[in-house]
Chain A
């Protein structure tokens, strides 16, 4: 273990290391996502957040208009508040507010034309905007993309607590260069935002162990996290576990450790920030907080494919119970790039060696105590802050929560994404060790500067390449161990959810639109169809017969999203259209994602068959 050579806070090199580098990483990340997000379709959840975001913006407009009309209290009445904020109230509002604000600021407005009726709020006139985005959905997505950029910078800063700049950069790059993470990072949803919040809160807590300023900020950040997604409920558990570990000396002496400022701040400022940000709570804070908690504690089980089975209920068989517990661990093994996993394994050994006998290899930065006596303002100054345990808790915590048999079946890597930045800090430690070994073996001075940077680049390369390869179908991507898209499908791993994958099929759908305009969209929500129309990807008035098993019979053209539990809809399509032969199949690396059927297509000669490949 080594202490990093100190330089004055004002020196250019320190500024470059601590601010410019993460800023560049953040800009590069957000730019990458802005460049490619348009290829990714709109999922069920995202389309609802678009709608809610715009409606929330509409409420802010009403605050202003009521103020101008001399009725400042009108917008705050229970009816007015509930009228807006009841929409999608099962999730807290922060990101949806940002989506709405971003849409209002950055869309290219053609809102007063024929699309006026597609908005969920009244459009009184043409919006004056900074038209950064041609598609409205891009404007909605922009805050999530910026936050993903911030997430990379935060991962860097977190890694810098224990690593030098080069391996910290590796950790930051790996934190975003993961196909599943990347998929979720560029859309208007909450899974990557809450991951970013997890890092923000964890970093603030870590710094608060030796700095009271961060203790106060920790509470504010946790409030923002609470206002982002309910995963934030778990953060205090992880932090408390770590705090008890570093103060285990007190526990052994049967002395209760003093509550640190960070926890006091979280207990007071956290709920306050949530309350301020969430108007839905204002008129019945206790009842509605209880309803919010109960909604997620008693969540229904979703359908999810894992190892060839469709899971939608807790199993009663012991073998299957055990198999279900393995889900987050096996999914991590098969979805995170293999090099990242291997680096994490090495990083784990590095931290274990540090814990057992102190690291003599200069891989990790020093965490030695800085004072003899702690205080509640600086509760970690007299002890080793145990970064390995800190990372282990933040990696294992989200995975274990999903693995618990009592947790509702959600499926999806997205539910334990908050573990990933911490896993990547571990990978950064693995990279630091690898770079250190290679650097020492190579004697020649002229290589000493080139080797670390080149090696860092090489270690990031597979993760970046896999992420590029996976787009826009990151949900269906599995790593080299699993055998890629095809290997994941053969293993019976989930390929997709929420019907986002229809986007590449839309031009064909438009071209084959039946005269009756009766189209079955399966798992593509009406809100998503509306947004595709607003984005100019579907013509106005594109038909939609609705959802459910009965309506398929009424359609002339229909799609089926290929998920295991959706087989029933393919059967209904066969019966409705009198054929088992799809008219089109959308594939990524030869793995089908969406099929479309047409009524009477079987009688066409010659049938126009084609396979659409990932754009």
Chain B
């Protein structure tokens, strides 16, 4: 044996576990050192991103969604493909309406937007993988965000008087200070397109869409905008959702509630036109900047 004269076999036997631990720490040091040198080279290069982007661009069809996984790589995806991810897509309510999702992923990550999909196409570009996911797309029968200008907005005062709000070029302005307009909002540190509402205490802001083609569900997503305002205020914003006078339910937004999605069952009314009414109130309006989006759709 080469090591017969080098190692104290008796000690090796007597202090077996000590030797195991000492050898383990030496191996750990070696592995960590090698990892520190090698790991940086595992990061995707600009060339990888360009190749992945070219692949997506070649197969992209209008209506497709492009996402990065993990989500922190999103700016790099937009650096290459931002022209295919305009603000309405980047600030989407959710990805239910997208049947084809291009996912540029690394390190085995998977985007939540691909949930329920199957991989139709896969290619590897250095450290990046491009997958085209196919899934059943929800059919949106009415997008209340893009159709915001068709809404009638009013406030109900504490005296129960309903006062219509004035339509402006980009939204509604109400008596008493409440307002509503479409905006790109930051809710739960993600960007969302939504109807931004500044509610006022003791008043109810009412938003009515008179003629909504309903699907099997009405999906509402909501939350509070602006990280600084969420920190500054502690009030709750409450929104009742009614269809043809019947309450489907309610959502409540607090500083901690994030971007909350809720689907209300409208299967009984699918295919019919209905009157959708939202009633928004708050207990403390200080620093409360509420945002929501809603779609009538067939999932």
Contacts and interface: CB of A to CB of B under 8 A. Distances in A.
B175 interface: no
Given A437-B19, A579-B82, A589-B40, A567 B8 contact: no
Interface string A400-425: 00000000000000000000000000
Interface stretch (B83-91, B94-102, B111-119, B264-272): B83-91
A466 B32 contact: yes
Interface in A466-483: 466, 468-469, 480, 483
A567 B26 contact: no
Given A441-B11, A582-B75, A609-B79, A458 B6 contact: no
Contacts of A575: 87, 184
A609 B83 CA distance: 12
B29 A570 contact: no
A233 B23 CA distance: 42
B76 A587 contact: yes
Interface stretch (B186-194, B202-210, B241-249): B186-194
B166 interface: no
22 contacts: A310-B227, A313-B231, A317-B256, A337-B32, A433-B22, A440-B11, A442-B7, A444-B5, A458-B26, A458-B30, A462-B33, A465-B33, A465-B37, A469-B40, A484-B39, A484-B40, A568-B228, A580-B87, A581-B85, A584-B79, A590-B76, A591-B72
A595 B75 contact: yes
Interface string B22-63: 100110111111011101100110100100000000000000
A443 interface: yes
B19 A466 contact: no
A574 B87 contact: yes
Given A441-B12, A447-B6, A459-B29, 16 more contacts: A312-B231, A339-B25, A342-B25, A434-B26, A437-B19, A438-B26, A444-B6, A458-B30, A466-B32, A564-B189, A571-B191, A575-B87, A580-B87, A582-B82, A587-B76, A589-B40
Contacts of A342: 25, 28
B272 to A, nearest CB: 37
B75 A338 contact: no
| Chain B residues touching A, majority SS | helix
A440 B15 CA distance: 10
B8 A592 contact: no
B80 A609 contact: yes
B191 A611 contact: no
A459 B79 CA distance: 41
A590 B73 contact: yes
Given A442-B8, A458-B26, A580-B78, A590 B186 contact: no
Contact of A469 (B36, B86, B106): B36
A568 B98 CA distance: 25
Contact of B79 (A443, A570, A611, A613): A611
Contacts of A265: none
Interface residues of B, number: 59
Interface string A471-511: 00000000010011110011000000000000000000000
B191 A567 contact: yes
Contact of B36 (A465, A582, A592): A465
B255 A313 contact: yes
Interface in B199-256: 226-228, 231, 255-256
B90 A489 contact: no
A294 to B, nearest CB: 21
Interface in A571-615: 571, 574-575, 579-582, 584-585, 587, 589-592, 595, 602, 609-611, 613
A346 interface: yes
A349 B16 CA distance: 17
A461 interface: yes
A186 to B, nearest CB: 19
Interface of A: 301, 303, 310, 312-313, 315, 317, 337-339, 342-343, 346, 430, 433-434, 437-438, 440-444, 447, 455, 458-459, 461-462, 465-466, 468-469, 480, 483-486, 489-490, 562, 564-565, 567-568, 570-571, 574-575, 579-582, 584-585, 587, 589-592, 595, 602, 609-611, 613
A437 B186 CA distance: 57
A461 B46 contact: no
A430 B36 contact: no
Contacts of A438: 22, 26
B75 A585 contact: yes
Interface of B: 5-8, 11-12, 15, 18-19, 21-22, 25-26, 28-33, 35-37, 39-40, 43-44, 46, 49, 70, 72-73, 75-76, 78-80, 82-83, 85-87, 90-91, 106-107, 109, 127, 184-186, 189-191, 226-228, 231, 255-256
Contacts of A315: 256
A571 to B, nearest CB: 4
Nearest to A613: B46
A438 B24 CA distance: 12
Most buried by B among A458, A483, A489, A590: A590
A490 B76 contact: no
B76 A570 contact: no
B41 to A, nearest CB: 9
A398 to B, nearest CB: 25
Nearest to A614: B40
Contact of A592 (B33, B75, B86, B226): B75
A346 B150 CA distance: 69
Given A438-B22, A567-B190, A580-B85, A611 B76 contact: yes
A338 B72 contact: no
Contact of A461 (B25, B29, B70, B79): B29
Given A490-B70, A590-B44, A443 B36 contact: no
A339 B29 contact: yes
A101 to B, nearest CB: 37
B33 A567 contact: no
A490 B107 contact: yes
B162 to A, nearest CB: 33
Contacts of A313: 231, 255
A573 to B, nearest CB: 10
A443 B75 contact: no
A343 B82 CA distance: 47
B145 to A, nearest CB: 16
B17 to A, nearest CB: 10
B28 to A, nearest CB: 5
Nearest to A303: B227
Contacts of B185: 571
A459 B29 CA distance: 6
A565 B87 CA distance: 19
Contacts of B91: 571
